[in-house]
Amino acid sequence: SQTIHQWPATLVQPVGSPLSLECTVEGTSNPNLYWYRQAAGRGLQLLFYSVGIGQISSEVPQNLSASRPQDRQFILSSKKLLLSDSGFYLCAWGPGNTIYFGEGSWLTVV
Partner 1 sequence: GDSVTQMEGPVTLSEEAFLTINCTYTATGYPSLFWYVQYPGEGLQLLLKATKADDKGSNKGFEATYRKETTSFHLEKGSVQVSDSAVYFCALSPGGTSYGKLTFGQGTILTVHP
> Interface with partner 1 by CB under 8 A: which residues?
32, 34, 42-46, 49, 51, 59, 90, 92, 94, 96-104
Q: Which strand (E) or helix (H) includes residue 19?
A: strand 19-26
Which of 17, 67 has the CB closer to partner 1?
67
3-state secondary structure of 84: helix
Question: Beta strand pairing status for 10-13 and 105-109?
Answer: parallel
CB of 38 to partner 1, least distance (A): 9
Shortest approach of partner 1 to residue 91 CB, angstroms?
A: 9
**Nearer Cβ to partner 1, position 40 or 83?**
40
Residue 17 CB, shortest distance to partner 1, in Å, is 24
Output 64 or 90, the one with its CB closest to partner 1: 90
Distance in Å, CB of 100 to partner 1, minimum: 6
